[in-house]
Amino acid sequence: MSSTDLTRSATGVGGRTDSLVRYVFFACAALSVLTTVGIIVVLLEGSVEFFRTVSVIEFLTGTEWSPLIEPVSYGVLPLVWGTLVITVGSALIAIPIGTATAIYLSEYADPGVRSVVKPILEILAGVPTIVYGFFALSFITPQLQRFLPWEVGTFNAAAGAIVVGIMIIPMVSSLSEDAMHAVPDELREGAYGLGATRYEVSTDVVLPAAVSGILASYVLALSRAIGETMAVTLAAGMAAQFTTSPFEPIQTMTAYMVQIGISDVSVGSIGYQSLFAVGLTLFVMTLSMNLASMWIRSRYREEYR
Amino acid sequence: MSTTDPFADVSDLDRKRTIGRVFVGLCIASTMVGIVALVTLLADVIYESWGWLSVDFLTYPPSRFPENYLPGGRGAGIYPALVGSVFLIALTALFTVFLGVGAAVYLEEYAPDTRLTSLIEANIANLAGVPSIVYGLLGLAVFVRFVGMGQSLLAGALTLTLLILPIVIVAAQEALRAVPDSQREAAYGVGATKWEVIRDVVLPAALPGIMTGTILSLSRAIGETAPILMVGAATSMFVAPDSLLGPFAAMPMQIFDWARLPQAEFQHVAAAGIVVLLTVLLAMNALAIYIRYRFETDLS
């Protein structure tokens, strides 16, 4: 409040309840900071234990991930590769489709169509990821096996990338559309006045003007794909390997964590500790992408008034 | 006389029109991809579950033998996981409403414009982007091990609470922001203290918005598998969970367990489980929409 505060609480009339409530509310807000601290401490603590046995160099550069089967080996790269395959594959699907959807909804669709299509796409984002995993197993993989001339495994990277791609389409389309919607009509009208077609206005005026919001939505969607767990576990399998074939099983970092989570690994064992080292790697990757997304939005934002 | 004819470029205009039409076609086709994917997904789940879903499925515990799930079989289903999910969400709702609204009230009504406040806000935005499985690790290390709750219902609910808290806070903040200042000032004018203003004016006015946001977040929590998997949700419980510190089952975890079994019949059982889960989700969303339309008063 900028003016002189004449409320009773400010003049000390409010009594003890008022100041007590304030502290209770502050504690609730502070809990969110505590959560972040908790995540970082938990991941670091578990990782430190892990790196007593395995060197950081071996972990980050090793190309063999075999933590439970002798001879044990802890090179995280195959898991990172698996995550990368899913992320890039899903981006190839979600970025073009999501962007084109956003252009259609923002520039072409009439308000009636828009008000129907937007909520439908948002349902896609609300479907639990376990359902996408089931969809991959029961529909996508059988279709790939039926229509593709190549050998397609029951668990394969392609099915994982496809479902994750479908899952993140609404993220790209919704955030990009918001960005395009924020472009003022004067810019469009100016271009029409110069004789531009609707296509030219969309691609040469609106897209560049909204580029920061659009790029930020891409990065955010990729970060979501990196952290996606159940769908890729069910669809892409649990075989940590380097493979360039999208029809073979792989294992992502998240799928490895699930594998340990459902097995009877005892607390304090190296398998249990590896959970936190992989978790830390995942956390660092998604956090840096989320920060990058925020940075892009603030760095390249055009202010329109 | 050969001045440049401004309309000589007609062929170019035709070309542009064609490009434009192709472009719109591609955009519409892309929009259809999302819609078709959703319809296919739902149709696939319903098709796979056809004939496997019965009332018995809701009232019997799971079984190792797929034939027990069929109508006329000995009876098998999702009962313990259904009850577990309901308990899990009820507890999570209890915690998130209190913590989420508290944090939002602090940020909207009390927080001074300081660096600490903007740090808290940036932190909440970042927490919303942390993968859910990482929250599972947090729950595992803090609630299950450090506090010593074990692989319990309470540990699962607390983990889900931390997971959806950032979304609830942001939703509650928006609801509070929608209450016009004139209402606050009127209350101050008749001598209310800050707490009285919040309790008697701001919160009642913002309640429908807060409820809607909370229910939508809870519907996200009920479908989450990864966090409760890390916390140790049971995969084969034959009785409904009955204590805060006892083991618990939950629908998504049970579905995961069925989906990865090798026998083909269990795919149908998993699909039946998904239909139940999606029905609960749909009911929660419908409730949220109902509250939004029924109680939303025009504040301006």
Structure tokens at B117: 């406040």
Q: Is residue B53 part of a domain?
A: no
pLDDT interval class at B1 (50, 70, 90): very low
Structure tokens at A134: 């089931």
Closest residue in A to B190 (Cα) is A7
Determine the Cα–Cα distance for residues B202 and B291; give it in Å rounded to an integer: 18
Residue type, B124: I
Nearest to A104 by CA among A30, A180, A48, A167: A180
Encode pLDDT of B263-280 as tens digits.
Answer: 888 999 999 999 999 999
| Residue B74 φ/ψ, nearest 5 degrees | -80, -10
Q: Where in chain A is the domain with CATH 1.10.3720.10?
A: 73-299
Determine the Cα–Cα distance for residues B268 and B46; give it in Å rounded to an integer: 9
Please report residues of B whose CB lies closer than 8 A to that of A261. Answer: 136, 229-230, 232
Encode pLDDT of B49-69 as tens digits.
Answer: 998 888 888 888 888 888 888
Pairwise pLDDT comparison (A244 vs B100), residue with the higher score: B100
pLDDT interval class at B4 (50, 70, 90): low
Helices (H) and strands (E) in chain A, counts: 14, 2
Calculate mean pLDDT across residues B78-92.
93
Q: Where does residue A33 rank: exposed (0-12), middle (13-18), buried (19+ CB within 10 A)? A: middle
Encode pLDDT of B114-154 as tens digits.
Answer: 888 888 988 998 898 899 999 999 999 999 989 988 889 99
Nearest to B58 by CA among B40, B71, B76, B70: B76
- Structural domain including B99 reads 79-295
pLDDT interval class at B3 (50, 70, 90): low
Nearest to A90 by CA among A140, A159, A151, A3: A159
Calculate mean pLDDT across residues B176-197.
91
Q: Hey, are the CB atoms on A229 and B256 less than 8 Å from each other?
A: no
Closest residue in A to B170 (Cα) is A29
CA distance A1 to chain B (A): 9
CA distance A188 to chain B (A): 16
Calculate mean pLDDT across residues B15-39.
92
Q: What is the CATH number of the domain that holds B203?
A: 1.10.3720.10
Please report residues of A whose CB lies closer than 8 A to that of B129. Answer: 220, 223-224, 286-287, 290
Q: Percent of chain B beyond pLDDT 70?
A: 95
Closest residue in B to A223 (Cα) is B129
Encode pLDDT of A51-64 as tens digits.
Answer: 998 888 888 988 88
Question: Is any Cβ of chain B less than 8 angstroms from the Cβ of A137?
Answer: yes
Q: Hey, are the CB atoms on B102 and A258 less than 8 Å from each other?
A: no
Residues 6+ apart with CB under 8 A from A86: A157, A160, A161, A164, A225, A228, A232, A236, A250, A252
Predicted local confidence at residue A117, as pLDDT: 92
Distances in Å between the Cα of A117 and the Cα atoms of A20, A111, A224, B32, B38 are 47, 10, 22, 9, 12
Predicted local confidence at residue A1, as pLDDT: 44
Residue B291: CB atoms within 10 A of its CB come to 18
CA distance A71 to chain B (A): 26
Determine the Cα–Cα distance for residues B28 and A100; give it in Å rounded to an integer: 8
Question: Is any Cβ of chain B less than 8 angstroms from the Cβ of A254?
Answer: yes
The pLDDT of residue B232 is above 90: no
Please report residues of B whose CB lies closer than 8 A to that of A258. Answer: 133, 226, 229
Predicted local confidence at residue A2, as pLDDT: 47
Residues of chain A with pLDDT under 70: 1-15, 301-305
Q: Is residue B19 part of a domain?
A: no
Mutate to test the interface with B, among A25, A256, A289 (most CBs of B within 10 A): A25
Question: Is any Cβ of chain B less than 8 angstroms from the Cβ of A142?
Answer: no
Q: Hey, are the CB atoms on B137 and A279 less than 8 Å from each other?
A: yes
Nearest to A243 by CA among A24, A86, A19, A90: A86
The sign one gets for the Cα dihedral B198, B201, B207, B209 is: negative
Please report residues of A whose CB lies closer than 8 A to that of B110. Answer: 22, 25-26
Q: Where does residue A91 rank: exposed (0-12), middle (13-18), buried (19+ CB within 10 A)? A: buried
CA distance B226 to chain A (A): 7
Q: Is residue B87 part of a domain?
A: yes
Closest residue in A to B25 (Cα) is A104
Please report residues of A whose CB lies closer than 8 A to that of B18. Answer: none
CATH number at A73-299: 1.10.3720.10
Mutate to test the interface with B, among A41, A114, A134 (most CBs of B within 10 A): A134
Encode pLDDT of A121-141 as tens digits.
Answer: 988 988 999 999 999 999 999
Q: Is residue B13 part of a domain?
A: no
Q: Which helix (H) or strand (E) holds B150?
A: none
User: How many domains does the structure of chain B reveal?
Assistant: 1
Predicted local confidence at residue A87, as pLDDT: 95
Please report residues of A whose CB lies closer than 8 A to that of B278. Answer: 127, 131
The pLDDT of residue B72 is above 90: no
Question: Is any Cβ of chain B less than 8 angstroms from the Cβ of A257?
Answer: yes
Determine the Cα–Cα distance for residues B139 and B146; give it in Å rounded to an integer: 9
Question: Quick check: helix, strand or coil at residue B162?
Answer: helix
Encode pLDDT of A184-233 as tens digits.
Answer: 999 999 999 998 888 999 999 999 999 989 999 999 999 999 999 999 99
CA distance A114 to chain B (A): 11
The pLDDT of residue B10 is above 70: no
Structure tokens at A62: 């090793």
Question: Is any Cβ of chain B less than 8 angstroms from the Cβ of A200?
Answer: yes
Nearest to A118 by CA among A77, A160, A173: A173
Question: Is any Cβ of chain B less than 8 angstroms from the Cβ of A272?
Answer: no
Residue pairs between chains A and B whose CB atoms are closer than 8 Å: 261
Q: Which of B40, B45, B232 sits opposite A131 (nearest CB)?
A: B45
Residues 6+ apart with CB under 8 A from B249: B80, B81, B84, B233, B234, B235, B237, B241
The pLDDT of residue B16 is above 60: yes
Query: Contact at 8 Å (CB) between A216 and A294?
Result: yes
Q: Hey, are the CB atoms on B127 and A202 less than 8 Å from each other?
A: no
Q: Is residue B149 part of a domain?
A: yes
Nearest to B231 by CA among B248, B244, B210, B219: B248
Please report residues of A whose CB lies closer than 8 A to that of B40. Answer: 139
The pLDDT of residue B76 is above 90: no
- Residue ranges of alpha helices (H) inside chain B are 10-49, 55-59, 79-105, 115-127, 132-139, 153-177, 181-189, 194-197, 203-222, 226-231, 251-259, 265-295
Q: Is residue B225 part of a domain?
A: yes
